Amino acid sequence: MPRPIQTRGQALSFLLSRIDYERTAVVCFKLDRMQQLLERLENPQQQLPAVHIAGTKGKGSTAVMVAEMLSAAGYRCGLFTSPHIHDFEERMRVDGATPTEQELVEVTNRIIEAVAAMDQLPEGMQPTYFEIATAMAWLFFALRQVDVVVLEVGLGGRLDATNLCSPLVTVITNISLDHTAVLGTTLASIAGEKAGIVKPNVPVVSGVGAPEARAVVHDVCSTQNVPLYELGRDIELRGREVLSAGKSKGGTETVLRRGQRLKIQTPWRTWSGVDLPLAGEHQAQNAAIAIAVIDLLNERGRSVSMEAARSGLTRLSWPLRIEVLRDQPTVLVDAAHNVASATALIQTLEAEFPAERSVLVFAATRDKDFGGMLQQLHHRFETIILTTYTNNPRGVPVEQLATIVRERCGRNALLAADPQTAWDLALSSAMPNDLICVTGSFYLAAEMREMIRKKEAPATVTP
């Protein structure tokens, strides 16, 4: 029998000893492995109703919006997202609060015996980092006695570890090409994997736009005989006003905020004056999806008033989504890591972030279409600084990125061996009216966010 875990450090060491597909290009999904792990834990996921959210882009943002609205309405709401930015515990929250060290130790000790037993099974049945993290989240949510859980799919949907939940509503946000080595090389094949979360008798909210992918979602919902509510057909974004940047005091810290005011129509209600403290039309669309989910939950016995929902959205904080870290020059970080996300970022910069000059700090992960991303991004920036992050081994070497910039974009870039050097280069070349944008990878954005926030104290910034 494994020795009991006594500290947070021991719990994290146990997790880090597992296969982590977020840090390797070799992926092996087996839903029966997760099913057996949960059975050994007495299936905590079966006792807690869920909102299950898949998609290529927007699923995390939509998840946190739904969770904030439910919490504001008085429900004890669990939220599971990935990856984390700084601390592992960020992946699982109840009403915004992460597990205490005691809670983390408790749920880890509940799981280590089941994992040890499965480690003796034939090859391929050993639980992975993400599967264990998902099971720990379920145990934590059960420990906190939550009323509802909002789950972001890790990758895909059909074989994802989260797909053993008992949903009240399932959601598929927009779909584009990403993780093609695992999910397929066409929008139809990717949509088929995402739509694998659809279950009988559970209504679906969809933000899928591409006709090829949309047709797949239609077919799956028709086969399962479940109601389908689509953005652009049943759910409409009828008004969007960009709110100017403002500052407010939070204790001794200055908070920079940008956002938008929305009017949204669902099949059930008209929502006017919805304030969202996130930039970009893509986030407005995510908000429309999230509000439709709230209306569906109302239909299914989870009452949420408009007043509570609006209140939840206004207090929302979601780092790395066009997050502004400072002014003069404007510095923002964004977790865009595929072509569709890069396109949305550029559209938002053009519409909402005027600047005299713009500087791009870029790094990418090996399994992404970083060439396509750079082709989308480079037109918007006078200076490109290429780097690689230090917190994950999947980073693309800067020399390889430089070759892509020369061959596909017809220009040269500055090279930085690490994020600190990249930041020093960017800041030294930027004037007060300029813009510095850090993007290309979740890992780069997270690493540079922490570094910049430490250097730019006392300003702490939320979107």
- Enumerate long-range contacts of 27-32, CB under 8 Å, 24 or more apart: 27/155, 27/181, 27/182, 28/124, 29/155, 29/156, 29/159, 29/160, 29/182, 30/124, 30/125, 30/159, 31/158, 31/159, 31/160, 31/161, 31/163, 31/164
How many percent of the chain have pLDDT more than 70?
A: 92
Task: Check whether 23 has a pLDDT greater than 90.
Answer: no
Alpha-carbon gap, residue 283 to 373, rounded angstroms: 20
Per-residue confidence at 380, pLDDT binned at 50, 70, 90? very high
Q: Mean pLDDT throughout 41-62?
A: 94
8-193, CATH topology level: UDP-N-acetylmuramoyl-L-alanine:D-glutamate ligase (3.40.1190)
Tokens of 15: 């997790």
pLDDT attached to residue 311: 96
Distances (CA, A) of 291 to 131, 262, 296, 463: 29, 11, 9, 20
How far, in Å, CA of 336 to CA of 282, rounded? Answer: 12
Structure tokens at 230: 């689509």
- The yes-or-no verdict on residue 458 having pLDDT over 60 is no
Domain residue limits, the chain: 8-193, 323-455
Greater pLDDT, 262 or 249: 262
Q: At the fourth CATH level, which superfamily is domain 323-455?
A: Mur ligase, C-terminal domain (3.90.190.20)
pLDDT per residue as tens digits for the range 284-301: 999 999 999 999 999 999
CB 414 within 8 A of CB 439: no
The answer to whether residue 22 scores a pLDDT higher than 90 is no
Structure tokens, 195: 């739509």
Average pLDDT, the chain: 90
Dihedral sign from CA coordinates of 52, 57, 58, 61: positive
pLDDT category of residue 317 using cuts at 50, 70 and 90: confident
Residue 215 has pLDDT above 70, yes or no: yes
The reported pTM is 0.88
Give a three-class secondary structure readout of the chain. Answer: CCCCCCCHHHHHHHHHCCCCCCCCCCCCCCHHHHHHHHHHCCCHHHHCEEEEEECCECHHHHHHHHHHHHHHCCCCEEEECCCCCCCHHHHEEECCECCCHHHHHHHHHHHHHHHHHHCCCCCCCCCCHHHHHHHHHHHHHHHCCCCEEEEECCCCCCCCHHHHCEEEEEEECECCCCCHHHHCCCHHHHHHHHHHHCCCCCCEEECCCCHHHHHHHHHHHHHHCCCEEEECCCEEEEEEEEEEEEEEEECCEEEEEEEEEEEEECCCCEEEEEEECCCCHHHHHHHHHHHHHHHHHHHCCCCCCHHHHHHHHHCCCCCCCCEEEECCCEEEECCCCCHHHHHHHHHHHHHHCCCCCEEEEECCECCCCHHHHHHHHHHHCCEEEECCCCCCCCECCHHHHHHHHHHHHCCCCEECCCHHHHHHHHHHHCCCCCEEEEECCHHHHHHHHHHHHHHCCCCCCCC
Q: Which range among 68-72, 117-121, 419-423, 452-456 shows the weakest confidence by mean pLDDT? A: 452-456
Q: What confidence category does residue 248 fall into, taking pLDDT thresholds of 50, 70 and 90? A: very low
